Amino acid sequence: MRNFEHINAPDLQTAIALLSKPATEAIAGGTDLLGELKARLRSPQRLVNLKTLSQLREIRYSPRAGLKIGALVTLAEIERHSVIREKFPILAQAASSAATPQLRHMGTIGGNLCQKPRCWYYRNKLFACWLKGGEKCFAEDGENTYHAILGAERCHAVHPSDLAPALIALDATLRVVGPDLDGEISVEELYTKPTASRRQMTVLGPGELIAEIYVPLPKEGARGIYLKAMERKSWSFALVSVAAQLSFEGERITDARLVLGGVAAIPWRAKDSEKILTGQKFSEELAKRAAEAALAGAQPLQGNAYKVPLARNLVKRALELLVASS
Amino acid sequence: MPKVIKTKTEFEGRVVEEYVVVEGEGLSAWEAQTPLRFVGKRTPRIDGPERVTGKAVYTSDVQLSGMLYGKILRSPHPHARIKKIDTQRAEKLPGVRAVLSFHNTPTISFRRQTFLFDQIVRYVGDEVACVIADDEEIAQDALELIEVEYELLPAVFDPEEALQPSAPKVQPDGNLLNGQPEIYQRGDLAQGFARADVLIERTFKTQCALHNCLEPHGSVALWEGDSLTVWDSTQHIFGVREGLARLLGLPLHKVRVIKKYMGGGFGSKNNLGKYTVIAALGALRTGRPVKILLDRHEENLATGNRPSSIQHLKIGAKRDGTLTALELKAIVAGGAYCLWPPSVGGPARQLYACPNLKTEQYTVFTNTGPLSAFRAPGYVEGTFALESVMDELAKELKMDPLELRLKNYTEIDQTTGRPYSTKGLREAYERGAKLFGWTSLKKKGQGVRGRLRRGVGMASQIWSGNGMPPAYAIVKINPDGTATVITGTQDIGTGTKTILAQIAAEELGFPIEKISVEIGDTQLGLYAPLSAGSMTVASVGPAVRGAAHDARHQLLDVAAQVLEVPRESLTISDGLFSSPALSECVAVPEVLKNLENFMIIGRGAREPNPEDVAVNTFGAQFAEVTVDTETGEVQVERIVAVHDSGRVINPLTLSSQIEGGIIQGLGYALFEQRIVDRNTGVVLTDNLESYKVPTALDIPEIIHEMIDRPDLKANNLGVKGVGEPPIIPTAAAIANAVADALGVHIYELPLTRDKVLKALGENHA
């Protein structure tokens, strides 16, 4: 990597001011950024270290407000937090499925949500791909085993986060701070398909940061699950993942949130499936219909058609396991 | 007196005959029932503590005063002619000491297929130039300042396309290695197929796999006057010495190659690398030592691979399972440079009795990273195809797969007609089947538990077994009753040092704590062959035993005179002399202390290989898997392995080899694969996140046993090799188990989700 200046952020306001300058990047756990620096994909002149912002390292829980997680909380802390394990198991499952124990001890939830795609064309300096400002997506007629099957336009990379689908299924929100900004958006709203004028997967602009994550307390009797298909048992980004959160009244599903990872440039909310499930009594047939609806719009490339049955079966299984666990 | 003889050695599936000089009488191997104190005992590594405490100095740890660092500029294009290299801007960067390219280095031919700095680059990653600088980051920065003007040439990545007459030429003489396929045949193929009741014809594909040694390739070069010393992470210090001397025009005595510890080679470090020669030239130019250590990205591009293969296999058998004919046509993607073809047809030629057989191999140049040896080159690929088709044949014949293999068992090497010195395969089958519970599991049939299906499969292994001469060793006995073994072999991480200490302690009659072993230095050591082909112990071990034997006899000669007892009455054990003529035992130093600094020097040399037998290793592995029918996930539950590698010297280090081989084989079966972009030739899996090796969680229960019977004809230790055998049948056994679970065979590795889901009939619609 090239040399850079390393500045410890004394407080959030200074961090924002520093990060608004050109050629400046934020670093927390560094597990994603260092890879990019070493590959010389980016060569910032300044890194602003956020780990000094101790107020963003806390997990707080109250039965009324739910969960508040500072952006600098590590995945390992989430994974082993007793309240999260008990009341938000979907989140603990997602955190523990990510990366490796070493990486989870360094990587933060804020960084996990903002990480860059793992697309091997994006990560390789030899390809001036569209997402990096170039002309074409090399995956489209190249090697696309791990690429998007849903909603892709110019770029076929998938968003790699495990936490994002889980948080969206839990209807979580974020406090986003920036030069002229201190507000709340949903995690779902954080993500956007890259466009020609904005070639990135989040809505965050220069100097804008995630400060905290709020997770509302699930309804009484609600249940969630995170399932992840990986190429090996550990240290693997999702081929496909499914975050499902269902609320019940008796046997009837009153609310359903279903989010897929590894299939699109953003965590993919399967709203048609949610509609199919809501208000219905669970049956195998219903799960099947919901699973089919989730993938109805799939447009696989040459090498990733397997993701369609894989995602469909994983959705079905998630729903069946949720019902079986009741 | 030294004798010049011809000896035959099977090395990685090829029999080579060469002249060697041997000396000394041959010792007989210890019989199975001979009581031994150290050989055969679980012995922790004598160099374990320094390795695990970080004190062992690997090549990457070598730090010399004033040392500079080199970084190599590599081609971004799969095929191009370099028109111009402008290094001025790079040279002006503070901290840059030299930039080497074809402009300012001698024209040095490499493998007769390229030059050290070639003006034609033939794959993405081919060497273009090298910056020597004060540190690695400066060197890396400077690489970006080198301006290269390329004239792009047409490239070809697919071996079948490369064989077309219209394909771009990777090498000037065409894309087929040696201009013709490598053909082996015996019997009458047409007649053999005509006699068959059942014919099966299938096409198999295997992927390109990368070694990804924990320690990357690298060298440190130091000139002192006109003498060159090189620390190199290599499997063959004497080979590197010879190569450096030849390419740089130096006499052998002025070149010293050192390799004390190593973090894996797996065949990728068999030969002299360009980076080593570049480091030597860089050190010469700057007058300072130079270290070039490749990074993970370069490891995945430019340090060799197990090439991909396409294998068309046709097999004919009688109704009772007797093979009548076997035909294999294999196409192997050699990459841009290739010295020798891996023997993909080896298992087909050797494993079973089959009178009518033809193997035909096309090794093809492509504009991709060059192949190298990789733990049982050719045999891993070939065994997957052969053992898969054997299972399909068994299914067709409604025979137990194991029974079919026993039906075609042979005690005679099918390629030479020579009997095997020892062959423990029948016993390996029997013991493996029993340990695994094969018969009852097979009878139960496919287990279906909801979405999970269980399957079992097995596969056999054959591989060369013997080492080769020449190999030399000396054993010094010091006045205090300690001894030092000196030889020029190298420990590539397998435990060679410990094994040699066990052998020396056994033969000397010394406690093992009294033995030290000095290896890995061409200047102080004696010649030993490369550590490849599972040959190290079988090559060097007998020389060490010979040297220890010689030293012990000298010691007894001297001691008999000092102690004034009849020579023939004197024995030594545990460092103590005893004789009926002595009232009590006498320790070695007690005898030597009166002789000032008298030193015993025992010499040993490897005996020639036997002429009348074939020395091979054998084994069988059994796999149990469950397949998730909804997600295509393959879970390997258990592997049982029983191998015959002759006498076991150290069950502890051996068990590391067996488990390591199985784990590497499992990675090959399930997910390891180099992915090259079909349009640009760029390696996309250039890191350990995307090139997936097994993690601890992927490793199943592994149960292994050895036949452990000395091969008395092989060499004076009765040992055969064990480094490569365990990887050979693993992928085949797993693939057969998956086929058993699914009811259909998958003909292509690795067994990733896409292939498994497709085999299950799951598709997009």
Q: Nearest CB to B763: which of A40, A120, A309?
A: A309
**How far apart are alpha carbons B454 and B451 in whole angstroms?**
10
- What is the Cβ-side half-sphere exposure of residue B409, based on CA atoms within 13 angstroms? 16
Q: What average pLDDT does this structure show over B544-555?
A: 97
Strand partners, B228: B223, B255
Q: pTM to 2 decimals?
A: 0.97
Q: Is the pLDDT of residue B765 over 60?
A: no
Q: What single DSSP character describes residue B17?
A: E
Residue B1 is predicted with a pLDDT of 61
Q: Would an 8 Å CB–CB cutoff place B762 in contact with chain A? A: yes
pLDDT range class, residue B23, cuts 50, 70, 90: low
Exposed, middle or buried by CB within 10 Å (0-12, 13-18, 19+), for B2? exposed
- Asked if the Cβ–Cβ distance from A124 to B686 is below 8 Å, we say yes
Phi-psi region at B294: left, alpha or beta (left = phi > 0; alpha = psi -120 to 50): beta
Q: Chain A partners of B95 at a C-beta cutoff of 8 Å?
A: none
- Asked if the Cβ–Cβ distance from A309 to B762 is below 8 Å, we say yes
Q: Chain B partners of A317 at a C-beta cutoff of 8 Å?
A: 451, 630-631
Q: Chain A partners of B697 at a C-beta cutoff of 8 Å?
A: 232-234
Listing DSSP states for B477-518 in one string gives E-TTS-EEEEES----SS-HHHHHHHHHHHHHT--GGGEEEE
Query: Is B611 considered catalytic here?
Result: no
Interface probe, candidates A136, A233, A288, A299, chain B, greatest B C-beta count within 10 A: A233
In this predicted model, what pLDDT tens digit does every residue of B442-482 receive, in sequence order? Answer: 887 766 767 999 999 999 999 999 999 999 999 999 999 99
Q: What is the distance in angstroms between the Cα of A105 and the nearest Cα belonging to chain B?
A: 17
Q: Chain B partners of A124 at a C-beta cutoff of 8 Å?
A: 682, 684, 686
Q: What average pLDDT does this structure show over B413-423?
A: 97
Choosing from B10, B215, B392, B724, the catalytic residue is B724
Residue A2 is predicted with a pLDDT of 87
Q: Nearest CB to A231: which of B137, B141, B752?
A: B752
The strand order across the sheet containing A209-215 reads A59-62, A66-70, A209-215, A173-178, A181-186
Closest residue, chain A, to B666 (C-alpha): A232
Q: Nearest CB to A300: which of B689, B692, B764?
A: B764
Query: Which positions 46-105 of A are in contact with B (Cβ < 8 Å)?
Result: 100
Contacts of B48 by beta carbon, 8 Å cutoff, 6+ apart: none
Structure-block tokens of residue B756: 């498994």
Structural contact between residues A18 and A100, judged by C-beta atoms closer than 8 angstroms? no
Q: What is the distance in angstroms between the Cα of A80 and the nearest Cα belonging to chain B?
A: 19
Query: Which positions 110-169 of A are in contact with B (Cβ < 8 Å)?
Result: 118, 120-121, 124, 126-127, 138, 141-143, 145
Exposed, middle or buried by CB within 10 Å (0-12, 13-18, 19+), for A166? buried
Interface probe, candidates A123, A140, A232, chain B, greatest B C-beta count within 10 A: A232
Q: Nearest CB to A124: which of B140, B144, B682?
A: B682
Across B15-29, B176-190, B692-706, least confident range: B15-29
- Asked if the Cβ–Cβ distance from A298 to B684 is below 8 Å, we say no
Q: Would an 8 Å CB–CB cutoff place A306 in contact with chain B? A: yes
Q: Would an 8 Å CB–CB cutoff place A231 in contact with chain B? A: yes
State chain B's mean pLDDT as an integer. Answer: 96
Q: What average pLDDT does this structure show over A57-78?
A: 97
Listing DSSP states for A114-161 in one string gives HPPP--TTTT-TT--BGGGT-SB-TTTTS--TTS--SS-SS-------
Quick one: which of B598, B601, B603 has its CA closest to B479?
B598
Q: What is the distance in angstroms between the Cα of B90 and the nearest Cα belonging to chain A?
A: 15
Query: Which positions 190-219 of A are in contact with B (Cβ < 8 Å)?
Result: none
Interface probe, candidates A116, A129, A136, A231, chain B, greatest B C-beta count within 10 A: A231
In this predicted model, what pLDDT tens digit does every residue of B101-118 receive, in sequence order? Answer: 999 999 999 988 999 999
**How far apart are alpha carbons B244 and B239 in whole angstroms?**
9
Q: What average pLDDT does this structure show over A203-208?
A: 95
Sign of CA dihedral A15, A21, A24, A26: positive
Mark out the alpha helices in B93-203 (DSSP H runs): 136-143, 159-162, 189-195
Q: Is the pLDDT of residue B24 over 70?
A: no
In this predicted model, what pLDDT tens digit does every residue of B720-753 receive, in sequence order? Answer: 999 999 999 999 999 999 999 999 999 999 999 9
Q: Nearest CB to A233: which of B141, B695, B763?
A: B695
Pairing verdict, β B701-706 and B634-644:
parallel
Residue B592 is predicted with a pLDDT of 93
Q: What percent of chain A has pLDDT over 70?
A: 100
Residue B442 is predicted with a pLDDT of 86
Structural contact between residues B311 and B381, judged by C-beta atoms closer than 8 angstroms? yes
Sign of CA dihedral B749, B752, B754, B756: positive
ipTM of the complex: 0.97
Q: Would an 8 Å CB–CB cutoff place B764 in contact with chain A? A: yes
Sign of CA dihedral B424, B429, B435, B436: positive
For residue B401, the SS3 value is helix
Q: What is the distance in angstroms between the Cα of A60 and the nearest Cα belonging to chain B?
A: 33
Structure-block tokens of residue A217: 């307390």
In this predicted model, what pLDDT tens digit does every residue of B126-182 receive, in sequence order? Answer: 999 999 999 999 999 999 999 999 999 999 999 999 999 999 999 999 999 999 999
Kindly report whether the peptide bond that precedes residue B750 is cis, defined as omega within 30 degrees of 0: yes
Q: Nearest CB to B758: which of A138, A304, A306?
A: A306
Quick one: which of A34, A179, A189 has its CA closest to A115?
A34
In this predicted model, what pLDDT tens digit does every residue of B617-631 receive, in sequence order? Answer: 999 999 999 999 999
- Asked if the Cβ–Cβ distance from B753 to A239 is below 8 Å, we say yes
Chain CA centroid to CA B441, Å: 34
Which residue is associated with the tokens 């050797």?
B350
Pairing verdict, β A46-49 and A24-27:
parallel
Closest residue, chain B, to A100 (C-alpha): B695
Closest residue, chain A, to B629 (C-alpha): A313
In this predicted model, what pLDDT tens digit does every residue of B342-397 receive, in sequence order? Answer: 999 999 999 999 999 999 999 999 999 999 999 999 999 999 999 999 999 999 99
Q: Nearest CB to B630: which of A303, A306, A317?
A: A317
In this predicted model, what pLDDT tens digit does every residue of B232-289 receive, in sequence order? Answer: 999 999 999 999 999 999 999 999 999 999 999 999 999 999 999 999 999 999 999 9
Q: Would an 8 Å CB–CB cutoff place B212 in contact with chain A? A: no
